[in-house]
Amino acid sequence: MVNQTTKRNKLAARSLVVCGTLLAGTAIWMSVINSAKPATQTAVPVSDNSSSVNQSNGVSNQSAIAVQTPISTTPILQQQVIPRFRTRGS
Amino acid sequence: MKMFGLVEITRSFTAMNTNVEAVVCVPSGGEKQAENALLLVQDIFTSVEAALSRFIPDSEISRLNRSAGQPFQASSVDLGGIAKGWTVDYAGQKLKDFSGFAIDAGGDILLGGKRADGSLWPIGVVDPFNLQENLTVLELSDCAICTSTTTRRCWRLDGFSGHHLIDSRHGKPADSAVVSVTVIADSAARAEVIAKTALILGPDEGMQFIHSQTGAQGIIVLNNGVLLRSEETREAGYVR
């Protein structure tokens, strides 16, 4: 009787150790997976779609960026690199 | 910037009523050679302005214009539409031996080679409706890029708005639906002239004109916000 109780206790203890080890391993594995995910990139629009007033001629215009071009239906969304120079017209 | 043993040396100054910035890429230790070359660029701008500016009373062009009509019939001459681009090209000739260089004269830009880190030159095309923003950013090398727009150098008189881009067919500011034209070409003078011409011609004829010019590419912005661009400019941009 005593032997059977001791065996059950040992079995329960081993089960606890195995379960704890599995849980700890799972937690570590999840943390490794999460840390390996690439950082989420947020698209930053060049400009919002609000209308703007051209100060020079007083004409109210919708931003050109929001308008689809006749050549392609893809709008110009964002810039990924800071330009070294800017051509602004003369 | 310092990578791959190259450094970028920059010189900024004011000429032709605008800010000019010139950059050359040299190996470490070549800073003095770069500074001398950039000083030469500044001298070129100063001397050309002294000769061709109609805003300097004693310039050659001013003296020529004062003599209009005598002793021969002549109109006054204004080289404002090409002088800056031509000067950029002329100054660029002095920098062609560097592995990379750039000259930006108020948005008229000439680019040679690559940057010190080996990358192409990223050039922003300004949104004419929101000058703080770029329509796109283009990666460029060994070319020039210039923009003409009706939103700069403009005025209002007796209720009418005008700008500096004159249509020679009637002698008045161009009245096309185009707000700005950006052109990429092999020289700044060509890019500047093609851009102005396309703006005056209007959207359809203007884009046809750009594509009729060897090696030229363009971006046209209309006054209703529609944007027309050559396919090549799409390929040169970071974002499609």
B203 versus A2: which is more confidently predicted? B203
Q: Give the ipTM of the model, two decimals please.
A: 0.80
Instruction: Let me know whether B126 and B108 are in one domain.
Output: no
On the question of pLDDT at A9 being above 50, the answer is yes
Instruction: Let me know whether B233 and B132 are in one domain.
Output: yes
Could B109 and A85 be called an inter-chain contact, meaning their C-beta atoms sit closer than 8 Å?
yes
Instruction: Let me know whether B124 and B97 are in one domain.
Output: no
pTM: 0.68
Q: Is B15 on the interface with A (CB under 8 A)?
A: no
Helix axis angle for B83-93 and B31-52, nearest 10°, is 150
Domain end position, chosen among B117, B139, B154? B117
Helix axis angle for B188-201 and B203-212, nearest 10°, is 150
Instruction: Let me know whether B191 and B163 are in one domain.
Output: yes
What distance in Å separates the CA atoms of residue B36 and residue B20, rounded to the nearest whole number?
A: 16
Domain end position, chosen among B57, B83, B117? B117
On the question of pLDDT at A57 being above 60, the answer is no
Number of domains in chain B: 2
Instruction: Let me know whether B162 and B227 are in one domain.
Output: yes
Instruction: Let me know whether B72 and B173 are in one domain.
Output: no
Mean pLDDT, all residues of chain A: 57
Instruction: Let me know whether B107 and B184 are in one domain.
Output: no
- Tens digit of pLDDT at every position of chain B (240 positions): 555 689 999 999 999 888 999 999 999 899 999 999 999 999 999 999 887 666 677 776 666 666 666 655 556 666 666 889 999 999 999 999 999 999 999 999 999 999 999 999 999 999 999 888 899 899 999 999 999 998 866 556 566 666 667 777 766 777 778 999 999 999 999 999 999 999 999 999 999 999 999 999 999 999 888 889 887 776 665 443
Q: Which residues contact B37 (CB under 8 A, 6 or more apart)?
A: B24, B94, B95, B98
8 A C-beta contact, residue A85 and residue B123 = yes
Instruction: Let me know whether B90 and B132 are in one domain.
Output: no
Residue B125 is predicted with a pLDDT of 93
Residue B154 is predicted with a pLDDT of 59
Instruction: Let me know whether B128 and B22 are in one domain.
Output: no
B152: chain A residues, CB-CB within 8 Å = 56, 88-90
If you average pLDDT over residues A25-30, what whole number do you get?
74
Residue B10 is predicted with a pLDDT of 96
Find the CB nearest B227 among A67, A82, A87: A67
Instruction: Let me know whether B108 and B76 are in one domain.
Output: yes
Find the CB nearest A54 among B102, B106, B151: B151
Domain end position, chosen among B80, B99, B117? B117
Q: Domain containing B165 — which CATH number? A: 3.10.520.10
Instruction: Tell me the pLDDT tens digit for each residue of A34-47.
Output: 655 444 333 333 33
Instruction: Let me know whether B134 and B215 are in one domain.
Output: yes
Helix axis angle for B83-93 and B188-201, nearest 10°, is 160
Residues 56-85, chain A, touching B (beta carbon < 8 A): 56-59, 61-67, 69-72, 74, 76-85
Share of chain A above pLDDT 70, in %: 39
Backbone torsions φ then ψ of B87, nearest 5 degrees: -65, -40
User: Helix (H, G, I), strand (E, B), or coil: what is residue B101?
Assistant: strand
Q: Is A90 on the interface with B (CB under 8 A)?
A: yes
Instruction: Let me know whether B59 and B32 are in one domain.
Output: yes
Residue B39 is predicted with a pLDDT of 97
Residue B151 is predicted with a pLDDT of 84
Q: Best of B211, B239, B240 to disrupt the A interface by mutation (most A CBs within 10 Å)?
A: B239
Q: Is A15 on the interface with B (CB under 8 A)?
A: no
Domain limits at B21? 1-117
Q: Best of A62, A79, A88 to disrupt the B interface by mutation (most B CBs within 10 Å)?
A: A88
Distances (CA, A) of B99 to A83, B64, B88: 20, 40, 18
Residue A56 is predicted with a pLDDT of 35
Q: Where along chain A do its domains lie?
A: 1-37, 44-78
- Pick the closest to residue B2 from B111, B139, B115, B142 (CA basis): B115
